[in-house]
Chain A
Amino acid sequence: MDVADVLLELLRVYSPSGSESNLEPVMRRLRQELGYDELTIDSAGNYLFSRGSGDRVILLAGHVDTIPGEIEAVRRGDVIRGRGAVDAKGPFAAMLFAGSKARIGQGYKLVVGGLVDEEGEGSGAKELLESGFKADHIVIGEPTGTTGVAISYRGSLTFTIYATARGGHSSAPYMGESALERLLDAINTLRSIFNGRSYDEPTSAVTMISAGDWPTKLPERAEAVVNVRFPPSVETRSVIERIETVCSLYNCSFSIRDVTEPFETSLSQPVPRALIRAILKTGKRPRVVKKTGSSDMNVLWKLTRSIAACGPGNSLLAHTNEEEVSVDDLRTACSVYIGAVEELQSMGRRAT
């Protein structure tokens, strides 16, 4: 069995967020075939494979849920297609395969986590945090083209904005009051504030909107969902304050649906260094990248700041119907993960 077989096994089971338990029989078979000491499934449904029994824990954390939309799992030559091939069963398959091959010395334990609900509310990573799980080093399995080492993720704030008005007849809108028009004015102002065009600037996107119940009636109620993304240099509090100001200006209200804090680590931390050294040892040139989105890293850094993301696959294909990854990329990723796990242990030995 090689890493391509592992990925195909995972892709053949459709597992959008909420259906990750479909993977249990495959996971149990993979534990046996790859020779892990244990596989535990925690209360959130996270799959935790482990080798070794030391106190110092290295976690390779991927996720096994995907966005909805099945894509048939197929291999054509060097390319494997399927829902999650990029985001993120490809990185997880490489982690699982690499974790079974890496040398685990005395005093160390390697855990390979197939976390759940990363594409949803992140309940898998949150459960790991709340359960008291400890890790000294964490590699997050997300697509970075294998040679990218992601040290930073933006924060995300999703809120619903509401407007109400007395309504009226559309034949004389100047006599009435439309909740939808008030909402659109507020949204336009928000978009002019969070109008970034790059990682370092806050951006906004209106993702849902609803209003009106009759073609000739001015809406009395309107609401929209807005998602704001912001870099580590911007505080969550200041984003909320600006939303409050705009809502107050247009007599709207809002409720926060979800907040994910931004996070940035340093190249001086052991995991970024271990990944960079492991990439160099494969003969490739490492790149430091920052991600415009968010991931389980935004939650798991609370366990350790020795954390970074790296994985096979072109992130531009994530969440598209063109998800595919090359076997060559998967194999390079395995070498990088094995190298990083062994580097981390060497660094630990040198430090003691």
Chain B
Amino acid sequence: MASVSCPVCEAGVEVPDDALEGELFECSSCGAHLEFYLEAGKPRLKLAEEVSEDWGE
């Protein structure tokens, strides 16, 4: 488990070792939805696409 910095509030977000690129996580500190990616082999998080609205029940 790696602790990766939240790009919004800089709190540490726990990312499991088996995380897939494109996987989405939630920062437990600020609630931001974050997308996991690798940069030069290092785990990183960026702000995920905004949550979309879907009609229906």
Spell out A's residues near B (CB within 8 Å): 87, 142-145, 148, 150, 152-153, 198-199, 266-268, 273, 276-277, 280-281, 285-295, 315-316, 318-319
Does the CB pair B33–A267 fall under 8 Å? yes
Give the shortest distance, in Å, between A203 (CB) and chain B (any CB): 12
Interface size for B (C-beta < 8 A) is 18
Does the CB pair A289–B53 fall under 8 Å? yes
Residues in A whose Cβ lies below 8 Å from that of B55:
291-293, 315-316, 318
Residues in A whose Cβ lies below 8 Å from that of B25:
267-268
* Bound: A248/B57 CA distance, A: 32
Residues in A whose Cβ lies below 8 Å from that of B53:
198-199, 289-290, 292
The proximity string for B residues 1-33 relative to A, scoring 1 for CB distances below 8 Å and 0 otherwise, is 000000000000000000011111110100001
Q: Report if B39 contacts A (CB, 8 A).
A: no
Chain B binding surface, main DSSP class: loop
Residues in A whose Cβ lies below 8 Å from that of B21:
280
Q: Report if B48 contacts A (CB, 8 A).
A: yes
Give the shortest distance, in Å, between B19 (CB) and chain A (any CB): 9
Contacting residue for B23 out of A145, A199, A280, CB 8 A: A280
Does the CB pair B54–A267 fall under 8 Å? no
Does the CB pair B54–A288 fall under 8 Å? no
Q: A267-B25, A268-B25, A290-B51 are in contact. Are A87 and B56 (CB under 8 A)?
A: yes
Does the CB pair B56–A288 fall under 8 Å? no
Spell out B's residues near A (CB within 8 Å): 20-26, 28, 33, 48-49, 51-57
* Bound: A309/B38 CA distance, A: 28
* Bound: A318/B56 CA distance, A: 7
Give the shortest distance, in Å, between A296 (CB) and chain B (any CB): 9
Does the CB pair B56–A287 fall under 8 Å? no
Pairs of residues from A and B, 9 with the lowest C-beta to C-beta distance, nearest first: A293-B57, A315-B56, A267-B26, A289-B54, A199-B53, A288-B51, A318-B56, A280-B20, A293-B56
Question: Could you show 12 A-B contacts with beta carbons less than 8 Å apart?
Answer: A276-B23, A277-B20, A285-B22, A288-B24, A289-B52, A289-B54, A292-B53, A292-B55, A293-B55, A293-B56, A315-B55, A316-B56
Residues in A whose Cβ lies below 8 Å from that of B23:
273, 276-277, 280
